[in-house]
């Protein structure tokens, strides 16, 4: 049985040719892939040498260097290359490549949006040996930013609270989530977001796990919590509908790539026991 690919992150590019490196080309939430009969593949530096030369080093995947670079809106890819939504790569490439693609999205956006100093407007410069850009005039550093966000599964006995986000185009229900505000802990964020979105109180807030989520440039920090009181009253701004669901009566739920699904599956296993492989 083969082991999963191992990715070792780094930001200092090695002194070796980039022709054989994996080149993750990103634009917004899209990445460029090579289409072939068996699916898709990440291009190599040999296919786009000019972009590879100025790309950001991400690390090595099973010893193969990985780089990230952006491509312009008017870029016309060669035949058999296509820009696709990065999320669509889930299960079309292995999990390691999918994760590196997400990392590439964030790095390319950081590089694009910090070309000029936010204080004085001077063009910034890349800092050797760091993942940073710096203003040469006032020395302000600009590092890749992530936005901490909570995601929480609320339980009441053998049921769980799932909600339909008003922005979801599909009839899918998920756990509650929201971004942390300045000056509050993640646990305080959980209690506030739940109260604001569905009107109930929670207790026994416990850390579950975390997941980088490049599609919102965020770090999702997962929690579980128990119902403590109140009636469900949705805010109608972010949440349009919310109900208590049992494991045997579930609506459409998120795909397995998300920490929301991990929270849901863990609760189902706790209530019903492990499922057969």
Per-residue pLDDT at 265 exceeds 70: yes
The confidence score (pLDDT) of residue 11 equals 95
Binding residues for a divalent metal cation, by number, are 177, 193, 197, 238
**pLDDT, averaged across the chain:** 93
How many residues comprise the chain?
277
Binding residues, by number, are 87, 117, 120, 130, 135, 143, 177, 193, 197, 238, 260
pLDDT above 90 covers what percent of the chain?
78
Give yes or no on whether 7-113 and 147-272 have one common fold: yes
CA 233 and chain centroid, separation: 29
- Which residue ranges make up each domain of the chain? 7-113, 147-272
Architecture of domain 7-113: Alpha-Beta Complex (3.90)
The confidence score (pLDDT) of residue 255 equals 87
Q: What is the 3-state secondary structure (H, E, C) of the chain?
A: CCCCCCEEECCCCCCCCCCCCEEEEEECCEEEEEEECCEEECCECCCCHHHHHCCEEEEEECCEEEEEEECCCCCCCCCCEEEEEHHHHECCECHHHHHHHHHHHHHHHHHHHCCECCCCCCECEECCCCCCEECCCCCCEECCCCEEEEEEEEEECCEEEEEEECCCCCCCCECEEEECCCCCCHHHHHHHHHHHHHCCEEEEEEEEEEEEEHHHCEEEEEEEEEEEECCCCCCCCCEEEEEEECCCCCCCCCCCCCHHHHHHHHHHHHHHCCCCC
- Map tokens 């490549």 to a residue: 97
The confidence score (pLDDT) of residue 277 equals 46
Tell me the pLDDT tens digit for each residue of 7-28: 999 999 999 999 999 999 999 9
Q: Please state the pTM of the whole predicted model.
A: 0.85
Binding residues for Zn(2+), by number, are 117, 120, 135
Binding residues for substrate, by number, are 87, 130, 143, 260
Sign of torsion over alpha carbons 81, 93, 253, 215: negative
Per-residue pLDDT at 216 exceeds 80: no
Domain topology for 147-272: Nucleoside Triphosphate Pyrophosphohydrolase (3.90.79)
Distances (CA, A) of 202 to 140, 189, 244: 41, 12, 14
User: Which residues touch 47 (CB under 8 Å, ≥6 apart)?
Assistant: 23, 34, 78, 81
The Cα 38–Cα 36 span in angstroms is 6
User: What number is the average pLDDT over the span 47-57?
Assistant: 96
Region of poorest pLDDT, from 44-48, 77-81, 221-225: 77-81
Tell me the pLDDT tens digit for each residue of 223-242: 999 999 999 999 888 999 99
């Amino acid at each position: 049985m083969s082991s999963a690919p191992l990715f070792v992150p780094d930001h200092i590019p090695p002194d070796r040719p980039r022709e054989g490196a994996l080149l993750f080309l990103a634009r917004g939430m899209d990445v460029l892939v090579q289409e072939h009969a068996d699916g898709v593949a990440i291009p190599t530096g040999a296919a786009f040498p000019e972009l590879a030369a100025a790309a950001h080093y991400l690390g090595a995947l099973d010893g193969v260097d990985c780089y990230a670079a952006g491509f312009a809106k008017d870029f016309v890819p060669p035949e058999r290359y296509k820009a696709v939504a990065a999320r669509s790569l889930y299960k079309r490439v292995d999990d390691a490549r999918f994760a590196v693609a997400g990392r590439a999205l964030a790095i390319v956006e950081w590089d694009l949006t910090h070309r000029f100093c936010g204080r004085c407007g001077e063009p910034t410069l890349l800092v050797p040996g760091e993942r940073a850009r710096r203003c040469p005039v006032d020395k302000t550093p600009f590092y890749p930013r992530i936005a901490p966000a909570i995601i929480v599964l609320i339980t009441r006995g053998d049921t769980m609270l799932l909600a339909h986000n008003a922005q979801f185009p599909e009839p899918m229900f998920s756990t509650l989530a929201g971004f942390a505000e300045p000056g509050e802990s993640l646990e305080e964020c959980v209690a506030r977001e739940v109260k604001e979105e569905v009107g109930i109180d929670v207790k026994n807030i416990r850390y579950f796990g975390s997941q980088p989520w490049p599609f919102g440039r965020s770090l999702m920090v997962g929690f579980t919590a128990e119902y403590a009181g109140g009636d469900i009253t949705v805010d109608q701004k972010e949440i349009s509908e919310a109900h208590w669901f049992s494991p045997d009566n579930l609506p459409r739920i998120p795909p397995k790539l998300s920490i929301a699904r991990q929270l849901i599956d863990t609760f189902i296993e706790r209530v019903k026991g492990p499922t057969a492989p």
